[in-house]
Amino acid sequence: MSVIELGEYGADFTVHPYPYYAKLREAGPVHEVRMPDGFQFWLVVGHEEGRAALADPRLAKSPHVIGVRAPEEDIIGVHLLSADAPDHTRLRRLVTGEFTGRRVAALRPRIERLTADLVDAMEPAGRADLVDALAYPLPITVICELLGVPAADRDTFRRWSTELVTPTGEEDFTRSMVDFGAYLDALIEDKRAAGPADDLLSGLIASRAEDGDRLSGPELRAMAYLLLIAGHETTVNLIANTVRNLLTHPDQLAALRADPGLLDGTIEESLRYDGPVETSTFRFTREPVALGGTEIPAGQYVLVAIGALDRDPARFPEPDRFDIRRDTRGHLAFGHGIHYCLGAPLARLEGRIALRTLLDRFPNLELDPEGEPWEWIPGLLMRGVRHLPVRW
């Protein structure tokens, strides 16, 4: 099997990745690929094979199994996305004891109020960049309030987060991570000194398992880092992508306006059709692993293309059709297995509230024809646009 040169796809691969994934899938569900910088890994593009890979313990999340140390480990520490069982089991048990469904459900009135306030601020102008006006400030405010991050620090946090998710260079990436890690250490110490409080980070500091186990300082820092980054970057794109998908499919927008009961289905179909996470983070083969008739040797990097999996016609008929009435069960936008997204209920709640509020307040919401062309987020990890000009 020859190595696929992803660089040959050019910039169009960032804008329109799905036709390229379809061509790869037609040739087989698993391929060895190479990035323009020469980095090679294995890319999984078939739904059945990808779902299996996401839950296969032979595909580790810790790079230690192949003798590599993650660059952020010394700065941030080990978190849920870089740990395997039994360490992952322990960390997840400690955080899920605090990040409960009840805590998420209790956020609904606050999310509704924040959304209403943001839309109030948007309304007089008649047009806005949906990302800057709503899709970004809503989830960042929610996750920061949930964790107890002061409002004054959120603009700085946005700069760090943007650099860490879509790096512009190794030096800036490392500096952002160091600054973010130092900030989180100081925040944790402030909360320890302040004593018990209602926010999630204070709860994690105080939380103990039945056997007395608790998160260490580095583990708290790593957990806060993961929750803050994953807790808002993905939801920004969930909201913006869903609105973009509806505005570019007016028949589906009309169907939703005619039947608000299709709201949940709209969110799920958007997650499947053009979700916020294009690929998983890397996995590493502990031993040779056979996937879809291809044997991946031990010590290899493996990336599961979630966007490709959810467009697999073997799982979803007519996968390139956006259909809010579709049965979307089995989509993998939030992952699968022990690393299934901890924040999925919160992301869905924010997405539903944001979309319902927008459509209720702006009956003639549409893309702004005078807006700047879309700038797509670079890289393979995140799927979305930097700005989404709309008008009403």
Rounded Cα–Cα distance for residues 331 and 310 (Å): 6
Domain regions of the chain by residue span = 4-391
Q: Judge whether residue 303 has pLDDT over 90.
A: yes
For the ranges 19-23, 198-202, 229-233, which has the lowest average pLDDT? Answer: 229-233
Q: What is the pLDDT of residue 84?
A: 95
pLDDT band at 209 (very low <50, low <70, confident <90, very high): low
pLDDT tens digits, 237-280: 999 999 999 999 999 999 999 999 999 999 999 999 999 999 99
For residues 242 and 38, give the distance between their C-alpha atoms in angstroms, rounded to a whole number.
Answer: 34
Bigger pLDDT: 116 vs 193: 116
- The first and second tokens of residue 221, run together, are 């820092």
Average pLDDT over residues 132-155: 90
The DSSP call for residue 326 is: S
Lowest average pLDDT, out of 101-105, 323-327, 338-342, 380-384, goes to 101-105
CA distance 20 to 34: 14
pLDDT recorded at residue 159: 85
> CATH for 4-391?
1.10.630.10
